[in-house]
Amino acid sequence: MGDAFQGFDTRLKSIERKRAGMERGYVGRVGKDGLIVFRPKRRQGGISLRGIVYLVAGFIFFKAVIIAHLGAGLYEERLAQLAQGSVVEQAGAAVMQPDAVSAMFASKLRPFLR
């Protein structure tokens, strides 16, 4: 009797797991044998706009901290050295060029990093 209850409980847990997976939507397909099988919809992968905004904001803040820590002159010298390197280093130097936003943040952060 205990084994039968355990098997039944296992089947109930399996059904509950499948049902929970289908709460976000499901797709019905007809198999080769004519049986209709419902499966959960696949999650749509992708990058959200919020994620891109956070990534750009973090990168600008990172540049601002580096500019504030090194100072504008030394930062420009290091970028010039980086621009003399390989293609990857040149691309890095192009991306790390100071922009108006990172320069403004750097001027605000400079007193805190000294």
pLDDT for res 2: 65
The pTM for the full model equals: 0.60
- Render each residue's pLDDT in the chain as its tens digit; 114 residues: 567 778 888 899 988 988 888 888 888 889 899 999 888 887 777 788 999 999 999 999 999 999 999 999 999 999 999 999 999 999 999 999 999 999 999 999 999 887
C-alpha 62/C-alpha 70 separation (Å) is 12
C-alpha 39/C-alpha 102 separation (Å) is 48
Q: What is the DSSP letter of 29?
A: E
